[in-house]
Amino acid sequence: MTILVWSMRASAKKLTIHFYSQPALIVAEQLLGKFLVRRAGKRLIASKIVETEAYVGFRDRASHASRGKTKRNALMFGPPGVAYVYLVYGMYCCLNIVTSRRGYPAAVLIRAVEPIHAKDIRAAAGPGKVCRYFKIDRGLNGVSMVGGLMWVEDRDERLAPGDIVRARRIGVDYAGLYKKKLWRYYLSSSPSVSRR
């Protein structure tokens, strides 16, 4: 067991600023099958990302950035590879990773991860549940995703052909034309996806 864990670590590659500098749609799709890792004290929590959404640019009415730069969304306009954590509905947090380039507001929402233990298989099936599962709150707003607190790593998981599904984003019916954009990505084979 120890050897197995060690070998997984050895092959794991932490995603870089170069990766997050890509367009949000690319990052959203490519994050599927990668592992979100968080250091909480001495422990590490790690789970496979199985659902993401992209929020793209100035005109995307589903995005916080569509009404211009504000105190809350300012991180979206900053450099890529940074966590944007905000409170929704007064009681849940959502974790995003800022992408693209400084000055162009774009981010990827982590909507679901797949817990290691089968009994928890739905415990992180939704953006609020991801933050609850990972103990992520607004204290992590603005932290680097390429540092030692929280990051995403590639463990060489192979995705089955055709496993990636594109769909409309959830909870953005107010977004006009942009509610129809297929900017949600998920792994069809995963039991931990929030909705199909």
Burial 18-28 (b: 16+ CB within 10 A, else e): ebbbbebbebb
- Minimum separation from the CB atom of position 107 to DNA (A): 5
Is 128 an interacting residue with respect to DNA (CB under 7 A)? yes
- Minimum separation from the CB atom of position 171 to DNA (A): 2
Give the β-pairing of 184-187 and 164-167: antiparallel
The secondary structure of 128-188, three-state, reads: HHHHHHHCCCHHHCCCECECCCEEEEECCCCCCCCCEEEECCCCCHHHHHHHHCCCEEEEC
Binds DNA (CB under 7 A): choice among 31, 34, 83, 96: 96
Binds DNA (CB under 7 A): choice among 126, 178, 185, 192: 126
Residues 35-54 touching DNA, rule: CB under 7 A, are: 53
Binds DNA (CB under 7 A): choice among 34, 38, 129, 181: 129
HSE on the CB side for 120, CA within 13 Å?
14
Among residues 91, 71, 136, 139, the alpha carbon closest in space to that of 109 is found at: 136
Whichever of 90 and 148 has its CB closer to DNA, that residue is 90
Cβ atoms of 183 and 28 within 8 Å: the answer is yes
Binds DNA (CB under 7 A): choice among 7, 70, 188, 189: 70
Among residues 170, 136, 178, the alpha carbon closest in space to that of 53 is found at: 170
- Minimum separation from the CB atom of position 134 to DNA (A): 12
- Minimum separation from the CB atom of position 82 to DNA (A): 13
Whichever of 19 and 84 has its CB closer to DNA, that residue is 84
Whichever of 89 and 103 has its CB closer to DNA, that residue is 89
Is 139 an interacting residue with respect to DNA (CB under 7 A)? no
The token pair at 104 is 């162009």
- The Cα–Cα gap between 123 and 192 comes to 8
- Minimum separation from the CB atom of position 25 to DNA (A): 14
Is 87 an interacting residue with respect to DNA (CB under 7 A)? yes
- The Cα–Cα gap between 145 and 165 comes to 25
Interface with DNA (CB under 7 A): 53, 55, 62-65, 67-68, 70-73, 76, 84, 87-92, 94, 96, 107, 109, 126-130, 169-172, 174, 194
